[in-house]
Amino acid sequence: MQIGIIGLGRMGANMARRLARGGAQVVAYDRQDAARAALGDEHGVATVAGLAALCAQLDEGERVILMMLPAGKAIDATLDELGALVSAGDTLVDGGNSFYRDSMRRALALSQSGLRYVDAGVSGGIHGLAHGYCLMLGGTPTAVEQFVPYAQLLAPGPQTGWMHCGPSGAGHYAKMIHNGIEYGMMQAYAEGFALLKAKEEFDIDLARLAETWRHGSVVRSWLLDLCAEFLAEDGELEHIAPVVADSGEGRWTASEAIELGVPAPVIALALMARFSSQGKDDYGRRMLAMMRAKFGGHAVSRRK
């Protein structure tokens, strides 16, 4: 079994390691020298300095190449460069968080050249190397079949943690909704623990409570496991800035809910909370303060 991997960031590098440790021969490329060097001692992984070298080192036949790149221009640019290096029958797998409609477009365009395309939603983060990745695959049955042996190595088990979700776009659509759900779950935990901390008269040990909830509670989850872990290390979190980035998939999920007319208020509000943390409602808050001052004579706090 041989596979090419393009993109050796946090996810791509660990996926290369897991595949190699599962018995696959991995040919890996990243434009950053340091990223390639980090895999230099990994048995079963050969790093190369360019896409041409990657394609040349893969055995002839129906090659499989996994791209672990940021969504958008990086994927399209890589596909353009690969166009002259791959052949009909090869399978290209996009394991990034691409917009599902972009995946549908790419699959159709590549099919005109006899190339197979798989959109692979990947979950598991930095823990995937040890515990396996959850894979949501979209594409034709033939395209997905080419990737299944590698999906079985990446997943927690050969028959668990991966799924052919449907035609092209379905894998990234499933991952988009997955991330929307994740937004809502994270927001609920954050709000709940904020309420617990605010009730100072009870002085509840949040780390111990999180650990208690991990056993038998209906709210137990991997996210709660992570909460219990970092609260045990630092329950005050005073060194953490109250700013939460959004990767884009929450926005896509909220837009999809509007387009389909399907109510998703929790996901939408969780997205808005992230915008709020980024200071994007500061002007609106200043407007609110001034309105209160004008109609009711309420005091306005001035910046120092």
> Which residue, chain included where needed, has tokens 């929450």?
250
Q: Determine contact, residues 75/12, Cβ cutoff 8 Å.
A: no
Question: Among residues 67, 179, 64, 75, which one has the least CA distance to residue 123?
Answer: 179
- Of 175, 211, 238, 259, which is the active-site residue? 175
Chain centroid offset of residue 183 CA: 12
SS (H, E, C) 54-120: HHHHCCCCCCEEEECCCCCHHHHHHHHHHCCCCCCCCEEEECCCCCHHHHHHHHHHHHCCCCEEEEE
Q: What type of residue is 30?
A: D
Active site residue 249: no
∠ CA 233-126-49, nearest 5°, is 135
The number of residues in the chain equals 304
Tell me if 272 sits within 8 A of 184, measured CB to CB: no
Are the C-beta atoms of residues 171 and 103 closer than 8 Å to each other?
Answer: yes
DSSP 157-178: BTTBSEEEEESTTHHHHHHHHH
In the residue annotation, 280 being an active-site residue is answered as no
The H or E element containing residue 275 is: helix 265-277
Smallest CA-to-CA distance from 135 within 66, 76, 187 is with 66
Per DSSP bridges, beta strands 116-123 and 134-138 are: antiparallel
Choice among 42, 62, 182, 249 that is catalytic: 182
- What are the Cα distances from residue 258, in Å, to 91, 117, 184, 264, 280? 34, 28, 17, 9, 22
- Catalytic machinery residues: 175, 182
